[in-house]
Structure 1
Amino acid sequence: MKLIPYLNFDGNTEEVMNTYARIFEGTVHDVSRFGDTNPDMPESHKNGIMHARLTFGDNMLMFSDGMPGHKVNHGDGISLSIGLNDEAKAVSVFDQLSEGGIVTMPMAKQFWGALFGMVTDKFGIHWMINCEAGS
Protein backbone atom coordinates (compact mmCIF):
# COMPACT_ATOMS: atom_id res chain seq x y z
CA MET A 1 0.00 0.00 0.00
CA LYS A 2 1.29 3.47 -0.85
CA LEU A 3 -0.27 6.87 -0.22
CA ILE A 4 -0.10 9.16 -3.27
CA PRO A 5 -1.21 12.78 -2.83
CA TYR A 6 -3.49 14.03 -5.63
CA LEU A 7 -3.34 17.82 -5.95
CA ASN A 8 -6.03 19.86 -7.72
CA PHE A 9 -5.63 23.44 -8.90
CA ASP A 10 -7.67 26.19 -10.55
CA GLY A 11 -6.19 26.10 -14.04
CA ASN A 12 -2.48 26.46 -13.21
CA THR A 13 -1.59 22.78 -12.80
CA GLU A 14 0.97 22.86 -15.60
CA GLU A 15 2.92 25.64 -13.85
CA VAL A 16 2.65 23.85 -10.49
CA MET A 17 3.84 20.44 -11.68
CA ASN A 18 6.71 21.94 -13.71
CA THR A 19 7.78 23.98 -10.66
CA TYR A 20 7.71 20.88 -8.44
CA ALA A 21 9.54 18.85 -11.13
CA ARG A 22 12.34 21.44 -11.01
CA ILE A 23 12.45 21.65 -7.20
CA PHE A 24 12.34 17.89 -6.59
CA GLU A 25 14.36 17.00 -9.71
CA GLY A 26 11.52 14.81 -10.94
CA THR A 27 9.87 13.75 -14.17
CA VAL A 28 6.34 14.54 -15.36
CA HIS A 29 4.45 11.59 -16.90
CA ASP A 30 1.07 10.74 -18.40
CA VAL A 31 -0.21 14.25 -19.06
CA SER A 32 -3.83 14.04 -20.23
CA ARG A 33 -5.80 17.15 -21.10
CA PHE A 34 -9.55 17.61 -20.78
CA GLY A 35 -9.88 18.20 -24.53
CA ASP A 36 -8.17 14.86 -25.28
CA THR A 37 -11.15 12.88 -23.99
CA ASN A 38 -14.04 15.33 -24.00
CA PRO A 39 -14.58 17.28 -27.21
CA ASP A 40 -17.60 18.98 -25.59
CA MET A 41 -15.42 20.59 -22.92
CA PRO A 42 -15.61 24.41 -23.07
CA GLU A 43 -12.78 25.79 -25.22
CA SER A 44 -11.35 27.62 -22.19
CA HIS A 45 -10.75 24.29 -20.40
CA LYS A 46 -9.73 21.95 -23.23
CA ASN A 47 -6.00 22.49 -22.62
CA GLY A 48 -6.39 22.02 -18.84
CA ILE A 49 -4.69 19.08 -17.16
CA MET A 50 -7.16 16.27 -16.52
CA HIS A 51 -4.47 14.03 -15.00
CA ALA A 52 -0.68 14.00 -14.70
CA ARG A 53 1.96 12.36 -12.52
CA LEU A 54 5.26 13.61 -11.15
CA THR A 55 7.79 11.07 -9.93
CA PHE A 56 10.94 11.84 -7.95
CA GLY A 57 12.92 9.19 -6.12
CA ASP A 58 10.40 6.69 -4.72
CA ASN A 59 7.75 9.43 -4.52
CA MET A 60 4.80 10.40 -6.66
CA LEU A 61 2.41 13.33 -6.80
CA MET A 62 -0.65 13.37 -9.05
CA PHE A 63 -2.25 16.53 -10.44
CA SER A 64 -5.38 17.88 -12.08
CA ASP A 65 -6.96 21.20 -12.92
CA GLY A 66 -10.40 21.55 -11.38
CA MET A 67 -13.41 20.85 -13.54
CA PRO A 68 -15.21 23.95 -14.82
CA GLY A 69 -17.42 25.38 -12.10
CA HIS A 70 -15.77 23.48 -9.22
CA LYS A 71 -13.87 25.50 -6.61
CA VAL A 72 -10.58 23.95 -5.50
CA ASN A 73 -9.89 23.95 -1.74
CA HIS A 74 -6.46 22.72 -0.64
CA GLY A 75 -7.52 22.19 2.97
CA ASP A 76 -5.81 23.89 5.88
CA GLY A 77 -5.55 20.63 7.78
CA ILE A 78 -3.15 18.98 5.32
CA SER A 79 0.62 19.45 4.91
CA LEU A 80 2.96 17.50 2.68
CA SER A 81 6.03 16.45 4.64
CA ILE A 82 9.36 15.84 2.91
CA GLY A 83 12.08 13.92 4.76
CA LEU A 84 15.71 14.37 3.70
CA ASN A 85 19.11 13.45 5.08
CA ASP A 86 21.16 16.15 3.31
CA GLU A 87 20.99 19.58 4.98
CA ALA A 88 22.08 21.53 1.89
CA LYS A 89 19.38 19.80 -0.19
CA ALA A 90 16.77 20.41 2.54
CA VAL A 91 17.59 24.12 2.63
CA SER A 92 17.49 24.29 -1.18
CA VAL A 93 14.06 22.62 -1.34
CA PHE A 94 12.75 24.86 1.46
CA ASP A 95 14.09 28.02 -0.18
CA GLN A 96 12.59 27.12 -3.56
CA LEU A 97 9.19 26.28 -2.06
CA SER A 98 9.35 29.60 -0.15
CA GLU A 99 9.74 31.70 -3.33
CA GLY A 100 6.52 33.72 -3.50
CA GLY A 101 5.09 31.76 -0.56
CA ILE A 102 4.74 32.29 3.18
CA VAL A 103 7.27 30.86 5.62
CA THR A 104 5.33 29.73 8.69
CA MET A 105 8.39 28.35 10.50
CA PRO A 106 11.92 29.14 9.28
CA MET A 107 14.37 26.27 8.82
CA ALA A 108 16.14 25.73 12.14
CA LYS A 109 17.55 22.96 14.32
CA GLN A 110 14.80 21.51 16.49
CA PHE A 111 14.75 19.80 19.88
CA TRP A 112 14.45 16.38 18.19
CA GLY A 113 17.75 17.05 16.42
CA ALA A 114 16.45 17.65 12.90
CA LEU A 115 16.62 20.71 10.70
CA PHE A 116 12.95 21.59 10.18
CA GLY A 117 10.85 24.31 8.58
CA MET A 118 7.31 24.92 7.35
CA VAL A 119 6.12 26.93 4.36
CA THR A 120 2.97 27.51 2.34
CA ASP A 121 4.10 27.79 -1.27
CA LYS A 122 2.80 30.31 -3.79
CA PHE A 123 0.25 27.72 -4.96
CA GLY A 124 -1.31 27.38 -1.48
CA ILE A 125 0.21 23.96 -0.63
CA HIS A 126 1.50 23.53 2.93
CA TRP A 127 4.92 21.85 3.24
CA MET A 128 6.99 20.58 6.16
CA ILE A 129 10.68 19.98 5.43
CA ASN A 130 12.49 17.72 7.91
CA CYS A 131 16.16 16.81 7.62
CA GLU A 132 17.74 14.21 9.84
CA ALA A 133 21.32 14.52 8.56
CA GLY A 134 23.28 11.32 8.65
CA SER A 135 20.21 9.04 8.82
Structure 2
Amino acid sequence: MPQLCAYLSFNGDCAEAMAFYAKVLDAKLEALITFGQMPDGEPVPPEHADKIMHAYLVHPDFALMAGDTPPGVPFDGMKGVMMALTYPEVADAERVFNALAQGGTVQMPLGATFWADTFGMLTDRFGTAWAVNGGPKEMGPK
Protein backbone atom coordinates (compact mmCIF):
# COMPACT_ATOMS: atom_id res chain seq x y z
CA MET A 1 0.00 0.00 0.00
CA PRO A 2 1.43 3.43 -0.87
CA GLN A 3 2.15 6.03 1.78
CA LEU A 4 1.61 9.75 1.28
CA CYS A 5 4.22 11.99 2.88
CA ALA A 6 4.61 15.76 2.66
CA TYR A 7 7.94 17.06 1.33
CA LEU A 8 8.75 20.64 2.30
CA SER A 9 11.23 22.91 0.50
CA PHE A 10 13.39 25.42 2.34
CA ASN A 11 15.82 28.17 1.40
CA GLY A 12 18.87 27.12 3.40
CA ASP A 13 17.27 26.61 6.81
CA CYS A 14 15.99 23.05 6.37
CA ALA A 15 18.26 21.58 9.07
CA GLU A 16 17.09 24.14 11.62
CA ALA A 17 13.43 23.71 10.66
CA MET A 18 13.51 19.92 10.81
CA ALA A 19 15.30 19.90 14.19
CA PHE A 20 12.61 22.28 15.47
CA TYR A 21 9.78 20.12 14.07
CA ALA A 22 11.33 16.98 15.59
CA LYS A 23 11.34 18.63 19.01
CA VAL A 24 7.87 20.20 18.80
CA LEU A 25 6.19 17.15 17.25
CA ASP A 26 8.01 14.62 19.44
CA ALA A 27 9.43 12.93 16.35
CA LYS A 28 12.82 11.52 15.37
CA LEU A 29 15.01 13.07 12.69
CA GLU A 30 16.28 9.92 10.96
CA ALA A 31 18.11 11.50 8.03
CA LEU A 32 19.80 14.84 7.42
CA ILE A 33 21.90 14.51 4.27
CA THR A 34 23.68 17.50 2.77
CA PHE A 35 24.32 18.09 -0.92
CA GLY A 36 28.03 17.67 -0.13
CA GLN A 37 27.36 14.14 1.20
CA MET A 38 25.73 12.93 -2.00
CA PRO A 39 27.44 10.01 -3.72
CA ASP A 40 29.31 10.68 -6.94
CA GLY A 41 27.21 12.55 -9.40
CA GLU A 42 26.50 16.17 -10.10
CA PRO A 43 29.13 18.60 -8.79
CA VAL A 44 27.86 20.80 -5.97
CA PRO A 45 28.93 24.43 -5.65
CA PRO A 46 30.95 24.86 -2.42
CA GLU A 47 28.43 27.38 -1.05
CA HIS A 48 25.70 24.74 -1.35
CA ALA A 49 27.60 21.75 0.08
CA ASP A 50 26.23 22.21 3.62
CA LYS A 51 22.62 22.71 2.49
CA ILE A 52 20.22 19.82 3.06
CA MET A 53 19.51 17.57 0.09
CA HIS A 54 17.19 15.27 2.06
CA ALA A 55 15.75 15.24 5.58
CA TYR A 56 13.47 12.56 6.97
CA LEU A 57 11.50 12.98 10.19
CA VAL A 58 9.54 10.04 11.63
CA HIS A 59 6.76 9.80 14.19
CA PRO A 60 4.66 6.71 14.95
CA ASP A 61 1.70 8.38 13.22
CA PHE A 62 3.34 10.21 10.30
CA ALA A 63 6.52 11.05 8.42
CA LEU A 64 7.76 14.34 6.99
CA MET A 65 10.45 14.87 4.36
CA ALA A 66 12.22 18.07 3.38
CA GLY A 67 15.21 19.64 1.71
CA ASP A 68 16.74 22.95 0.75
CA THR A 69 16.23 23.95 -2.87
CA PRO A 70 18.93 22.50 -5.15
CA PRO A 71 21.70 24.68 -6.56
CA GLY A 72 20.41 26.95 -9.32
CA VAL A 73 16.75 26.48 -8.37
CA PRO A 74 15.16 29.70 -7.12
CA PHE A 75 13.18 29.51 -3.89
CA ASP A 76 9.80 31.20 -4.09
CA GLY A 77 8.44 30.15 -0.70
CA MET A 78 5.87 27.54 0.14
CA LYS A 79 2.52 28.33 -1.44
CA GLY A 80 -0.85 26.66 -1.62
CA VAL A 81 -0.20 24.01 1.01
CA MET A 82 -0.83 23.68 4.75
CA MET A 83 0.29 20.99 7.15
CA ALA A 84 -2.68 19.81 9.24
CA LEU A 85 -2.33 18.22 12.67
CA THR A 86 -5.13 16.69 14.72
CA TYR A 87 -4.68 15.81 18.39
CA PRO A 88 -7.21 13.87 20.46
CA GLU A 89 -6.64 16.26 23.39
CA VAL A 90 -6.95 20.05 23.38
CA ALA A 91 -3.90 20.44 25.64
CA ASP A 92 -1.64 18.73 23.07
CA ALA A 93 -3.01 20.92 20.27
CA GLU A 94 -2.42 24.04 22.38
CA ARG A 95 1.16 23.03 23.23
CA VAL A 96 2.09 22.36 19.60
CA PHE A 97 0.26 25.41 18.24
CA ASN A 98 1.99 27.72 20.71
CA ALA A 99 5.41 26.22 19.97
CA LEU A 100 4.96 26.50 16.20
CA ALA A 101 3.68 30.07 16.55
CA GLN A 102 6.88 31.31 18.25
CA GLY A 103 8.47 33.70 15.78
CA GLY A 104 5.72 33.02 13.24
CA THR A 105 2.40 34.61 12.34
CA VAL A 106 -0.97 33.45 13.67
CA GLN A 107 -3.71 33.77 11.06
CA MET A 108 -6.43 32.30 13.28
CA PRO A 109 -5.96 31.92 17.05
CA LEU A 110 -7.07 28.69 18.66
CA GLY A 111 -10.80 28.58 19.24
CA ALA A 112 -13.79 26.26 19.22
CA THR A 113 -15.30 25.17 15.90
CA PHE A 114 -18.07 22.83 14.85
CA TRP A 115 -15.49 20.14 13.93
CA ALA A 116 -13.11 20.39 16.91
CA ASP A 117 -12.94 21.68 20.46
CA THR A 118 -10.10 23.90 19.28
CA PHE A 119 -8.62 24.88 15.92
CA GLY A 120 -6.10 27.47 14.78
CA MET A 121 -3.94 28.38 11.78
CA LEU A 122 -0.46 29.86 11.63
CA THR A 123 2.64 30.21 9.51
CA ASP A 124 5.77 29.31 11.45
CA ARG A 125 9.07 31.20 11.37
CA PHE A 126 10.29 28.94 8.53
CA GLY A 127 7.34 29.79 6.26
CA THR A 128 5.40 26.55 6.76
CA ALA A 129 1.63 26.95 7.14
CA TRP A 130 -0.04 24.83 9.84
CA ALA A 131 -3.62 24.03 10.83
CA VAL A 132 -3.88 22.54 14.32
CA ASN A 133 -6.97 20.72 15.59
CA GLY A 134 -7.58 19.49 19.12
CA GLY A 135 -10.47 17.38 20.40
CA PRO A 136 -12.11 16.47 17.08
CA LYS A 137 -15.90 16.27 17.12
CA GLU A 138 -18.06 13.63 15.43
CA MET A 139 -18.86 14.74 11.89
CA GLY A 140 -21.49 12.19 10.88
CA PRO A 141 -24.68 12.77 8.89
CA LYS A 142 -27.42 14.84 10.52
On whether the aligned pair clears a TM of 0.5, the verdict is yes
Match of 1:123 among 98, 104, 126: 126
4+ residue segments displaced more than 4 Å: none
- Normalising by the residue count of structure 2, what TM-score does the alignment of the two structures yield? 0.87
Correspondence for 2:14: 13
Q: 1 CA distance for matches of 2:74 and 2:117?
A: 37
Structure 1 SS opposite 2:18 = helix
RMSD of equivalent CA atoms: 1.8
Task: Point out where structure 1 has 5 or more consecutive residues left out of the alignment.
Answer: none
Aligned counterparts, 1:1-135, within 5 A:
1-37=2-38, 40-132=43-135
Write the distance in 1 (CA, Å) between the matches of 2:74 and 2:125: 18
Shift in Å, 1:114: 2.5
**How far does residue 133 in structure 1 lie from its aligned partner after superposition?**
5.7
CA distance in 2, matches of 1:75, 1:39: 26
Q: Is the 8 A contact 1:85 1:134 kept in 2?
A: no
SS of residue in 2 equivalent to 1:114: strand
Offset at residue 40 of structure 1 (A): 2.6
Q: Could you tell me whether the CA contact under 8 Å between 2:115 and 2:136 is conserved in 1?
A: no
CA distance in 1, matches of 2:8, 2:93: 22
Q: In 1, Cα distance between the equivalents of 2:6 and 2:136?
A: 25
Bigger Rg, structure 1 or 2: 2
Measured in 1, the distance between the counterparts of 2:120 and 2:97 equals 7
Contact 2:115-2:137 at 8 Å conserved across structures: no
- 1:39 Cα deviation from its structure 2 partner: 7.4
For residue 15 of structure 2, give the secondary structure of its aligned residue in structure 1: helix
Looking at structure 2, the residues matched to 39 and 112 of structure 1 have their Cα atoms a distance apart, in angstroms, of: 49
* Percent of paired sites with the same residue: 34
